[in-house]
């Protein structure tokens, strides 16, 4: 029996149009874009330039603000460690939220082990930051704030415009991990006061292994990968032209259908939630109002988490939390106040472009059957 894939927050399938756009760049137009001394090299460089300009347009920034990386993890590391290295004379305090992805928490913890002071703010039971508490936590020596745009487990959207305004008033740099937002909603980091914005190709039906850091004018993180001077000296390494072209195509496709997709998937998500609530003993994790349309995360009462996920995986590809923390209890659900047992008996559903109403109805039936079996 085929597995129904509802784990689009972990990753998305590469769109066939993206695969087609990348195809010529593997073995026909394969030249190194840094090879400026011959025509194939110049053609590869032109493809990269075009992709950079196109991506920049979707983000409302100038092309030179886009630095290609291997994904959001690398973009987060460059933003956080690079900014702190460049500005370390100005302070030693760093601020983030307890629900951030590990690709943000780990670089910050690394810095905390190297003389910086890290505040990890708790969130409210609905996953949102308390803005008063946030404002009080900012200090004169705060160097950097990092708050994700949308959470990868519970889909919660933080009030970034308000956070950006508070940071701007105090002259504090703001980084946002936008891996789950870019390609799913219109987002212009500059308008929100975001100085450093990370994104990842494989979350928007593009290829794995490519992402970008978008850097506001006047912000100059120190390079974290030294090499051949690519990307204005900020990120050494031969540029992966096929992946860059793939990211460009994925962003174009997303810009055409994100509104319609959000509406359609929001409707399917509500249908899924209604069906699951009818089963009884099911509760929503995280705010429904301030949330990505294609995410649902629920906790199920009266069942063992391991047994629940074992029963589901025969037919459904869903997850208990972040793909990057598989096996360990979710620090995001813990931050909402869930016990380890309740967090383990939680399910993340990530709907995506290919998701159909029939798959949603099947998912409800599969969960119902699992609960019947486990609850006896």
Ligand X SMILES: Cc1ncc(COP(=O)(O)O)c(C=O)c1O
Site string for ligand X, 164-183 (x = CB under 6 A): -------------x-xx---
Could you tell me which of 301, 296, 311, 312 has the C-alpha nearest to residue 348? 296
Residue 283 main-chain phi, psi, to 5 deg = -130, 150
324 is catalytic: yes
Establish if 251 lies at the interface with ligand X (CB under 6 A).
no
* Candidate list 14, 53, 167, 324, residue with the active-site label: 324
Token representation of residue 102: 């590990």
Is 129 within 8 Å of 104 (Cβ atoms)? Answer: no
Among 161, 324, 341, 357, binds ligand X (CB under 6 A): 324
Nearest-approach distance from CB 75 to ligand X, in angstroms: 8
Is there binding between residue 72 and ligand X (CB under 6 A)? yes
Q: Does 148 bind ligand X (CB under 6 A)?
A: yes
Of 211, 246, 321, 350, which lies in the binding site for ligand X, with binding defined by CB under 6 A?
Answer: 211
d(CA 174, CA 191) in angstroms, rounded, equals 12
**Is position 200 an interface residue for ligand X (rule: CB under 6 A)?**
yes
Binding track over 102-121 against ligand X, x by CB under 6 A: -x------------------
72 or 120: whose CB is closer to ligand X? 72
Least spacing, CB of residue 313 vs ligand X, in Å: 19
Q: How far is the CB of 22 from ligand X (least distance, A)?
A: 17
Using a 10 angstrom Cβ sphere, with 0-12 exposed, 13-18 middle and 19 or more buried, the burial of residue 28 is: exposed
Structure tokens at 304: 């063992």
Tell me: does residue 77 bind ligand X (CB under 6 A). Answer: no
The CB-based long-range contact list for 161-170 (8 Å cut-off, 24+ gap) reads 161/191, 161/192, 161/193, 162/131, 163/129, 163/131, 163/134, 163/193, 164/192, 164/193, 164/194, 165/193, 166/131, 166/134, 166/135, 166/138, 167/138, 167/193, 168/193, 170/138, 170/142
- Cα 341 to Cα 221: distance, rounded to the nearest angstrom: 41
Position among 12, 65, 73, 346 found at the interface with ligand X (CB under 6 A): 73
CB of 106 vs ligand X, minimal distance in Å: 11
What are the DSSP calls for 248-273, one per residue? HHHHHHHHHHHHHHHHHHHHHHHHHH
79 touches ligand X by CB under 6 A = no
Q: Does 12 sit near ligand X (CB under 6 A)?
A: no
Residue 71 as a binder of ligand X (CB under 6 A): the answer is yes
Q: Which residues are catalytic?
A: 324
Rule CB under 6 A: which residues touch ligand X? 71-73, 101, 103, 148, 152, 177, 179-180, 200, 211, 323-324
């Amino acid at each position: 029996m085929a597995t129904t894939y509802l784990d689009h927050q972990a990753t998305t399938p590469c769109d066939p149009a993206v695969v087609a756009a990348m195809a010529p760049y593997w073995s026909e137009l394969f030249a190194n874009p840094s090879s400026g001394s011959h025509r194939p090299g110049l053609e590869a460089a032109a493809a990269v330039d075009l992709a950079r300009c196109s991506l920049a347009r979707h983000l409302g920034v100038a092309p030179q603000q886009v630095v290609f990386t291997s994904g959001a993890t690398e973009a987060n590391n460059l933003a956080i460690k690079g900014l702190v290295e460049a500005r370390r004379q100005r302070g030693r305090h760093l601020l983030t939220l307890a629900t951030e992805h590990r690709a943000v928490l780990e670089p910050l913890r690394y810095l905390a082990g190297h003389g910086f002071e890290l505040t990890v703010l708790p969130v409210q039971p609905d996953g949102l930051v308390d803005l008063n508490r946030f404002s009080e936590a900012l200090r004169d020596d705060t160097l950097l704030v990092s708050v994700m745009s949308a959470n990868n487990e519970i889909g919660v959207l933080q009030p970034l415009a308000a956070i950006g305004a508070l940071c701007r008033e105090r002259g504090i740099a703001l980084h946002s991990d936008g891996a789950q937002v870019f390609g799913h909603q219109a987002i212009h980091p500059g308008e929100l006061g975001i100085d450093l914005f990370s994104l990842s190709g494989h979350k928007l039906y593009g290829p794995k292994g490519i992402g970008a850091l978008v850097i506001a004018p006047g912000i100059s993180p120190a390079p974290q990968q030294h090499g051949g001077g690519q990307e204005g000296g900020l990120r050494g390494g031969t540029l992966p032209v096929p992946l860059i072209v793939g990211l460009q195509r994925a962003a174009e496709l997303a810009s055409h259908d994100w509104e319609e997709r959000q509406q359609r998937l929001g409707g399917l998500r509500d249908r899924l939630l209604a069906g699951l609530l009818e089963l009884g003993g099911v509760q929503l994790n995280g705010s429904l109002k301030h949330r990505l349309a294609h995410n649902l995360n629920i906790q199920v009462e009266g069942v063992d988490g391991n047994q629940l996920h074992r029963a589901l995986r025969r037919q459904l590809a869903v997850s208990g939390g972040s793909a990057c923390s598989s096996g360990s209890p979710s620090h995001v659900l813990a931050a909402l106040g869930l016990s380890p047992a309740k967090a383990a008996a939680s399910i993340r559903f990530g709907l995506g472009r290919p998701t159909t109403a029939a798959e949603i109805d099947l998912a409800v039936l599969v969960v119902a059957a699992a609960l019947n079996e486990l609850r006896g």
